Amino acid sequence: MNRVETLLVSSPPRRWLQRFYEIRVLLRLGGRMLPGARALEIGCGTGYGSQLVLEQFCAASVDAVDLDPAMIERAARRLARYGDRVRLAQGSATDLRSALNAADDDYDAVFDFGIVHHIPNWRAAIAEVSRVLAPGGRFYFEEVTAHALARPIYQRLFDHPTDDRFTAQQFLDELANHGLVVLGSITRISGDYLLGVAAKPVSGRSGN
């Protein structure tokens, strides 16, 4: 993530959009978490997403990971008031075992606020999400597709992986490949953005 995008995702308009639009869509599709539930945010940035997970989704605790140590420091300052309900770690969303010692079926929910499209091996990140989700757990995602990344303004202002970008359908297909079942309808915005919730079946299978 370059400087321009770092400034954008930390800006008041972006936070307003996240709180008053994206969060409401995700809550409508996936609901709040049950008492005592553990959540994970991948690519936590400044920690605003984790704050929303605690306040809006009612998570009992949140683990959060980011590659950038400067972001982890900023997140630590933002989330300090939540004490031991928050655990932060520097590391990759493609290797949560190393970053957080995350075991299989460890979390009741995983949150992706627009980070998977930054990961060159995005399929490995989806595989990790599926691995650490407990049966019945939910994956809340907001993503940017290859359609948006091909727009000239994105190419001029932002820095994203150029290989193996995913379309909306490829992203959804990869969820299915790892046994995650989409709940309700997917919100698609001009083919550029994708918001939805997928669940890991209690049976461990994508069928009934």
Would you state the pLDDT for residue 120? 94
Domains of the chain by start residue, with CATH: 3-199 (3.40.50.150)
Would you state the pLDDT for residue 17? 92
pLDDT along the chain (208 residues), means of 10: 68 90 96 97 96 98 97 97 98 97 98 95 98 98 90 72 88 98 92 96 60
Do 174 and 123 meet the contact criterion of CB atoms below 8 Å apart? yes
- In whole angstroms, give the CA distance from residue 160 to residue 188: 21
Would you state the pLDDT for residue 204? 43
CA torsion 174-176-182-188 (nearest 10°) is: 30
Helix boundaries (H) for the chain: 3-9, 12-17, 23-30, 48-55, 69-79, 96-100, 122-132, 146-149, 152-157, 168-177
Radius of gyration of the chain (CA): 16
- Are β-strands 133-144 and 107-113 bridged in parallel, bridged antiparallel, or unpaired? parallel
Would you state the pLDDT for residue 4? 58
Would you state the pLDDT for residue 148? 82
Would you state the pLDDT for residue 206? 44
Would you state the pLDDT for residue 207? 43
Other Cβ atoms closer than 10 A to 19? 15
Helix (H) or strand (E) holding 134: strand 133-144
